[in-house]
């Protein structure tokens, strides 16, 4: 079973951030993973995440985005979390600013765990009251504790299915 808390450390959670452009946010979070030693080639990951963004925005709406990609040179799934106080234009589905960004990086061959991780993050953001608490958390330690609490309360994997156009969704 996927535990979100297995994929980050307090070093890969940043709060109080200020960026205005999607590409800057993604580059900042990729850099965060590199600083933590979880990514060996920032350029490859950044290119993969930006290519994924071109297919369809990962700005889910409700102030949340989950940019993600699989790429070579990534040894294990890793996640960076950024909270942007003034919001970011992430081309979100609801056209509103994004305040909470979860960047997921996975090895190229890790299809199922990667999909489960993204789906579980989406579930986290749809499970009251986690999104509100994460948006108001005092710092990286509190964000980490909230995600660990979610893992304990929701240990099961998420049902996912493939749509006719090849996208993976998790119906609820």
Count up the domains in the chain and report the number.
1
CA-wise closest residue to 79 among 30, 44, 125, 126: 30
Residues 6+ apart with CB under 8 A from 154: 120, 123, 124, 127
Catalytic (active-site) positions: 68
Which pLDDT belongs to residue 69? Answer: 95
Which pLDDT belongs to residue 156? Answer: 79
Which pLDDT belongs to residue 128? Answer: 82
pLDDT in tens, 21-77: 999 999 999 999 999 999 989 999 999 999 999 998 999 999 999 999 999 888 899
What's the helix, strand, coil split of the chain in %, to 5?
Answer: 40, 25, 35
Residue 171 has pLDDT above 70, yes or no: no
State the CATH number of the domain containing residue 35: 3.40.930.10
Which pLDDT belongs to residue 28? Answer: 95
Which pLDDT belongs to residue 158? Answer: 72
Q: Are 80 and 8 in contact (CB under 8 A)?
A: yes
Q: Residue 51's domain spans which residues?
A: 4-169
pTM comes to 0.91
pLDDT in tens, 66-118: 999 999 888 899 999 999 989 999 999 999 999 999 999 999 998 888 888 99
Residue 166 has pLDDT above 90, yes or no: no
């Amino acid at each position: 079973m996927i535990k979100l808390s297995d994929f980050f450390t307090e070093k890969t959670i940043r709060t109080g951030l200020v960026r205005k452009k999607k590409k800057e946010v993604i580059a900042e979070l990729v850099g965060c993973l590199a600083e933590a030693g979880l990514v060996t080639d920032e350029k490859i990951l950044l290119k993969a995440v930006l290519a994924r963004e071109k297919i369809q925005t990962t700005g889910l709406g409700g102030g949340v985005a989950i940019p993600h990609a699989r790429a070579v040179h990534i040894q294990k799934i890793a996640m960076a979390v950024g909270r942007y106080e003034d919001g970011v234009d992430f081309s979100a589905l609801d056209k509103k600013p994004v305040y909470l960004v979860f960047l997921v990086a996975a090895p190229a061959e890790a299809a199922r765990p990667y999909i489960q991780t993204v789906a579980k993050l989406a579930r986290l953001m749809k499970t009251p009251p986690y999104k509100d608490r994460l948006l108001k958390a005092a710092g990286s330690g509190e964000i980490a504790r909230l995600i660990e609490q979610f893992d304990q309360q929701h240990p099961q994997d998420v049902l996912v299915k493939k749509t006719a156009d090849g996208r993976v969704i998790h119906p609820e």
